[in-house]
Amino acid sequence: MKDLLRIADLTADDLTLLLELADGFEEEPGSAGHLLAHQIVPMYFAKPSTRTRLSTAAAVARLGGTPVPVGPGELQLRRGETIGDTARVMSSYAAAIVIRTFADTDVADLAVAAAVPVINALTDGHHPLQAITDLLTIQEHFGTLRGHRIAYLGDGGNVARSLMEAAALAGMDVAVATPPGYAPPDAAITFTATEADSGGGGFVLTTDPAEAVKDASVVYTDVWLSMGDPDGEQARRRKALAPYQVNERLMGQARDDAVFMHCLPAHRDEEVTAGVIDGGRSLAFRQAANRLPAAQAVLYALLTERLKGRR
């Protein structure tokens, strides 16, 4: 498997390997030597980013390479050069390409034309680097993934999708509660249900937040309005998603030892109360820190051709 575009391309063994590698890099950041010495990794970000941009840049640096940030206005793409031509040219200089953009088809086109690994750093549809980090964080906290229920509440967007796919692939019990009209895409539901069936975890898709958090070890949410969602949708989303806010009352319905997780950035007192995200049960900043070893693991695994993939 050359690229990391979405979680559903990974096998369960690939995911286990990535978590093992990330765990190793957390202990010993320099253990992979200078795999990327004298090489660059272009990082194309068409959307804002704090964590992904910096953790990926740090991961490239830890592997001995040089990250090169390129904004959408800095390449010839805006002047009509095709994604395919851009990918072919970049491949002559770069060891890998990191891309955050809107359409998944653009990232797929880039990956097909690129001779080097392409890493999806968030699209409208997926956020695989985040989901790998999230499982690393849960494993670190509870010591295991199997036997734990992860409850995701809120908008069924990119973060929800990658998280539910990864959690099911890892054999976790997955519960997703979204308002009508905000459910994850059918492909994500089918993948998660199939993995849950074969992997031993359960899968619940509901509109009832209380049903999702019952017996949950992890309660997870994301912003209600994602990058690329029209600003005009804000009021409608706030109204629809209000019952899915993660607050003290809802946390009280999960397991006694349940933790709260959020990919960040967070909007306090929208999708989560300040008391929950800043409280003792929140792993949100542990997740943010774990983005670095997770990014290092993904780069290492792709550069050394360690991932088998499904196709």
Q: Rule CB under 6 A: is residue 123 a binding residue for ligand CP?
A: no
Residue nearest to ligand NVA (CB): 226
Question: Between residues 113 and 224, which has the closer beta carbon with respect to ligand NVA?
Answer: 224
Alpha helices by DSSP H, listed for the chain, are 12-27, 51-62, 83-93, 104-113, 128-142, 158-169, 186-199, 209-213, 234-241, 248-251, 274-277, 284-303
Is 263 in the active site?
yes
CB 126 within 8 A of CB 5: yes
We find the least distance from the C-beta atom of residue 22 to ligand NVA, in angstroms, to be 18
Question: Between residues 8 and 263, which has the closer beta carbon with respect to ligand CP?
Answer: 263
DSSP string of 198-215, one letter each residue = HHS--EEEES-HHHHHTT
Choosing from 11, 66, 139, 226, the residue that interacts with ligand NVA (CB under 6 A) is 226
Residue nearest to ligand CP (CB): 52
Catalytic site residue from 148, 161, 263, 296: 263
We find the least distance from the C-beta atom of residue 160 to ligand CP, in angstroms, to be 13
We find the least distance from the C-beta atom of residue 199 to ligand NVA, in angstroms, to be 25
Question: Using CA of residue 103, residue 108, residue 114, residue 120, what is the dihedral sign?
Answer: positive
Instruction: Choose the contact partner of 226 out of ligand NVA, ligand CP, none; CB within 5 to 8 A by kind.
Output: ligand NVA
Q: Rule CB under 6 A: is residue 137 a binding residue for ligand CP?
A: no
Lookup: tokens for 177: 């509660």
Is 139 in the active site?
no
For the chain, how big is the Rg over CA atoms in Å? 19
Is 291 in the active site?
yes
Is 53 in the active site?
no
Specify the DSSP element, H or E, that contains 45: strand 40-45
Q: Which of residues 129-188 bind ligand NVA (CB under 6 A)?
A: 157-159
DSSP string of 139-189, one letter each residue = HHHHS-STT-EEEEES--SHHHHHHHHHHHHTT-EEEEE--TT-PPPHHHH
Is 262 in the active site?
no
Separation in Å, CA 46 to CA 89, 102, 201? 19, 8, 36
Catalytic site residue from 6, 51, 100, 126: 100
> By CB under 6 A, which span of 34-42, 44-52, 73-81, 106-114 interacts with ligand CP?
44-52
Is 100 in the active site?
yes
CB 64 within 8 A of CB 87: no
Q: What is the spatial distance between Cα 172 and Cα 184, in angstroms, rounded to a whole number?
A: 18
Q: Rule CB under 6 A: is residue 223 a binding residue for ligand NVA?
A: yes
The separation between CA 274 and the C-alpha centre of its own chain, rounded to angstroms, equals 23
Q: Rule CB under 6 A: is residue 267 a binding residue for ligand CP?
A: no
Who's near 280: CB < 8 A, 6+ residues apart? none
CB 65 within 8 A of CB 37: yes
Catalytic site residue from 3, 173, 222, 287: 222
We find the least distance from the C-beta atom of residue 263 to ligand NVA, in angstroms, to be 5
Q: Rule CB under 6 A: is residue 51 a binding residue for ligand CP?
A: yes
Choosing from 39, 52, 221, 245, the residue that interacts with ligand CP (CB under 6 A) is 52
Cα end-to-end distance, the chain, whole Å: 8
Q: Rule CB under 6 A: is residue 284 a binding residue for ligand CP?
A: no
Instruction: Give catalytic residue positions.
Output: 100, 127, 130, 222, 263, 291
Residues that bind ligand NVA (CB under 6 A): 122, 157-159, 222-223, 226-227, 263
